[in-house]
A and B are shown apart, each in its own frame.
Chain A
Amino acid sequence: MTEKFSFKKGHRARAAFLIFDYAFIVLLCVCMLVPLLKVLVDSVDPTSHGIQLWPKQIDFSAYKMILGKSSLYQPLWVSIYTTILATVIGLTMVTLAGYVVLQREMPGHKFIVSSIMLTMMFSGGLIPTYITIKTMGLMNNVFTVILPASISAYNIILMKSFFEGIPGTLYEAAELDGASPMGIFARIVLPLSKPALASIGLFIAVGMWNQYMNFVLYITDANKKNFQVKVRDLILNDGLSGSIELSEELLKNAMVVIVVFPFLVIYPFLQKYFVKGVTLGAVKG
């Protein structure tokens, strides 16, 4: 149903609509980008304020300071290693659990499925979880933050529904050849699941990178706080003792840039995996 764009009679309403449509969407994109552009400009131009959207001077001193100052460097490092750990652990766990859920004839299958669904339906809530973690002596342990962020019932279901899309004949053929469930997992399921692994892995990574609340609750040791917490502290004006030389605005903006822009650089290459992850989940719904 391709149509010609023209202002001839009978096409006018359509042409007007298309102009409105394109213009509206461009405007919306501008609204998405202006806040980010503003942050970028304000991070390199100490004099920038108000509606200024272009730097009059370029000054990287805020970045130099952040990367040179260990109290700001350490949280960045924490963010990086927790993200890597969470992704590796999460992908391992989610694929294992997703494959186990697939085994309908396995004794105990029902119990396993309900043990996963229960975590989706009900939770202990903030205080009972906090008290339990505290009582078990898990405070200030990075794994207290990493493990819950790396595995979720939703991701297990996502993984399982992807596994289900693998043709059943492949399993049967392998079974006839005498492969064990583990053999099938390693030699057939995993190699075919790369797209799903990419999608889910990226979701876990972004989730961990953006983790904030659990660091506030369970980590009191300043050396184990991540970058998000540091950004927040800075915005609330109690994270920056002894850095008078630079304006606070400049530093705040530079920190936001550091936490957001690395992702923006790699994001265009990864976008299709994120979208696939969402549509994969939607098939089930």
Chain B
Amino acid sequence: MKRTKEQKEQKLILSNKDKPLLKRMYKYRYMYFMYLPVFLIFLVFNYIPMVGILISFTKYTPFTKVPQWVGLQNFKQLFVSDIFWRSVKNTLIISSVNIVLSITTCVGLALLIDEIKTVWFRKVVQSILYIPHFISWVVVASIFTMILSPQEGFINGILQAFGQDPIYFLADSDWWRVCLWIIERWKGIGWGTIIYIAALTAVDGALHEAATIDGANRVQRIWHITLPSIAPTILVVFIMDIAKILNIFEPVWVLQNDAVLAVSDVIGTYVYRIGITNAQYGVSAAAGLFKSVISVVLVTIVNNASRKIKGEGILS
């Protein structure tokens, strides 16, 4: 008797799903209107441009009235171009060094900050370290162009004080990438620690106490307890960075100049120069599509890897 009652109740709950579609939709009628504006924005700025990818299979310049279908010719032209492969190579070099530097410096700094127990000092320090993150790349480039300037710049001022010749850092092929990496660190080192500091506060204190009783010293505890505890966080950050590896654009764009094009031209700036400046829409769109496809493949691989290691994907 009792059982049937339970079953009845269960049926009552289920019936919500069994209702006719329109009735269920009616219950949520306002929701559709709530999502509509968002959908329209995505439609105009995201979905329709995706259809525009077809440009990469056409011959299209500002003077062509009707784009002419040329199949894979743009891609052929791209794949025999040395300049294109140079930009792929530069992208990989600049981004991968960025990723390695970013993870090592941020984890290291987070460990150092975590050792500081003076609350007010810690708060002040964190506030200062986060500041550069909020300054736009355009302004960061402006600041560092002046600081690194060969005539009046701060750094060359120091060099001259030591009797060295001034160096034109941002126009010197040997120095440009180093400058970019350092500026990237200036802007990102503090902000990147937030996620690790949050992970560090979640490390189980009992583990440390147990290890201390067992005679482990501080270095051993960091190596065997702290780092493994924040390893999942490091992995997530690493995976996200890998997914974005080809996307680097704005920092390079604002610091680049013609003198250092050979070491600084990345896929993003190549696409911009060919497309916007030279108006070769077809070839540029093809290069963009190449980048997007590789990125999607990377995201998928990386997401599957994370599913295997962590048991769940980053997306979904």
Nearest CB of B to A160, in Å: 12
Task: With CB as the reference atom, state the residue of chain B lying closest to A157.
Answer: B315
Contact B17 A105 (CB under 8 A): yes
Task: List, in ascending order, chain B residues with CB within 8 A of A24's CB.
Answer: 112
Q: Given A34-B154, A124-B50, A126-B284, are A115 and B39 also a contact pair (CB < 8 Å)?
A: yes
Contact B38 A151 (CB under 8 A): yes
Task: List, in ascending order, chain B residues with CB within 8 A of A103's CB.
Answer: 28, 31
Contact A123 B129 (CB under 8 A): no
> In chain B between 98 and 119, which residues have their CB closer than 8 angstroms to a CB of chain A?
109, 112-113, 115-117
Which of B30, B38, B47, B147 is within 8 Å of A181, CB to CB? B30
Contact B136 A210 (CB under 8 A): yes
How far, in whole Å, are A51 and B186 apart by their CA atoms in the complex? 19
How far, in whole Å, are A38 and B233 apart by their CA atoms in the complex? 36
Looking at the complex, which of B1-9, B82-90, B172-180, B268-276 is the stretch in contact with chain A? B268-276
Contact A275 B285 (CB under 8 A): no
Contact B115 A18 (CB under 8 A): yes
B80 at the A/B interface (Cβ < 8 Å)?
no
Task: List, in ascending order, chain A residues with CB within 8 A of B281's CB.
Answer: 127, 131
Q: Given A100-B35, A151-B41, are A107 and B115 also a contact pair (CB < 8 Å)?
A: no
Task: List, in ascending order, chain B residues with CB within 8 A of A99's CB.
Answer: 31, 34
Contact A260 B138 (CB under 8 A): no
Q: Could you write out 21 A-B pairs with CB less than 8 Å apart?
A: A24-B112, A25-B109, A28-B109, A29-B128, A51-B158, A51-B161, A107-B24, A117-B316, A121-B296, A125-B288, A125-B289, A126-B284, A127-B281, A128-B51, A128-B53, A128-B285, A130-B275, A131-B60, A148-B41, A212-B250, A278-B194
Task: List, in ascending order, chain A residues with CB within 8 A of B190's CB.
Answer: 32
A231 at the A/B interface (Cβ < 8 Å)?
yes
Total interface residues on A, using CB and 8 Å?
93
B291 at the A/B interface (Cβ < 8 Å)?
yes
Task: List, in ascending order, chain A residues with CB within 8 A of B35's CB.
Answer: 96-97, 100, 112
How far, in whole Å, are A112 and B125 apart by their CA atoms in the complex? 42
> In chain A between 230 and 285, which residues have their CB closer than 8 angstroms to a CB of chain B?
231-232, 235, 249, 252-253, 256, 259-260, 263-264, 267-268, 271, 274-275, 278-279, 282, 285
Nearest CB of B to A57, in Å: 17
How far, in whole Å, are A136 and B44 apart by their CA atoms in the complex? 9
Q: Given A107-B24, A212-B138, are A119 and B288 also a contact pair (CB < 8 Å)?
A: no
Task: List, in ascending order, chain A residues with CB within 8 A of B32's CB.
Answer: 108
